[in-house]
Amino acid sequence: MIHAEPGLFLRHEPLAAATPLVVDVSRSGREYPKEYRSPLPFTTVHDNVSMYVEDLWAGTPAAGGTLLYCSFPNTWIDVNRNEADMDPDIVDGTWPKELKPTARTLEGLGLIKTKSRYGEAFQERKLSVAEIEERLARYYRPYHAELKRIIDETHKRFGVLRQISCHCMSAVGAPTHPDAGKPRADFCISDLKGKTSSPATMALVVDTLKSLGYSVSVNDPYVGNELIGRHGHPARGIDSIQVEINKKLFMDTGTFRRTAGFDKLKADLDRLLKVLADEALRRIA
């Protein structure tokens, strides 16, 4: 069953007996708001979408988990960034609170994207304080509120929870990324360097993927960000992990089409979801 908030999110609820599993897909949205503008060609804009990630993890409800899909594009406003993680140079005026941009944000990849992954200017002009506040109020905060509601209710019910925040990555680090020019593993698994997950759950994810024949890096080149940082609390039984999948496994980046590898990858992710759900249920048995 799908519960939708038009233009904001789709919530796919468990199809099987409920398990303490929550999966969020935050950067695959393609419902471009009517006011959306960029000086870049659509192909470049669309290349910043994490294509097919919601399809790859579509087995979540069958594993008893809840899948939350962010409908709007991350290039409108990025829910995997903190509200203060914004380049002050994008603001036309003075932001009312202190901004704390990270180094990656100053390279263009913050709350409001200022550059594409290859360094082209993403915005045609600065944005007013009112415009950015509207994006926060109408898009960013409602999505986070819904994710928090799901996580709080699931954790209250079971006492434990496994959150998987799902993304995809280029096969080689782009110029704006920390590993520019370097080939990447099949998967990058992250927990903010040990802050958002127990070592046991991290090991379960890594070992399961390796047993299925994949190469896996841990907290390299990505360590995770806002979506797992807000919720991960291993001492309370909440393990939050970011999973980045190498695009080479499932899509042709030149045509944006699925490749023959998609079906095998999805089947393997279905296996991973079942492993995680079963392990979490054993913890409360």
pLDDT tens column, 102-161: 998 998 999 999 998 788 999 999 999 999 999 999 999 999 999 999 999 999 999 999
Q: Decide if 108 contacts 115 (C-beta within 8 A).
A: yes
Rounded mean pLDDT, 7-30: 96
Alpha-carbon distance of 147 to 2, in angstroms, equals: 15
- Tens-place pLDDT, residues 272-282: 999 999 999 99
Q: Decide if 197 contacts 231 (C-beta within 8 A).
A: no
Burial class from Cβ neighbours inside 10 Å (0-12, 13-18, 19+) for residue 89 reads exposed
- pLDDT, averaged across the chain: 96
Whole-structure pTM over 0.85, yes or no?
yes
CATH 3.40.630.40 fits 2-77+128-284, yes or no: yes
What is the reported pLDDT for 175?
81
What is the reported pLDDT for 119?
85
What is the reported pLDDT for 177?
78
What is the reported pLDDT for 117?
79
What is the reported pLDDT for 64?
98
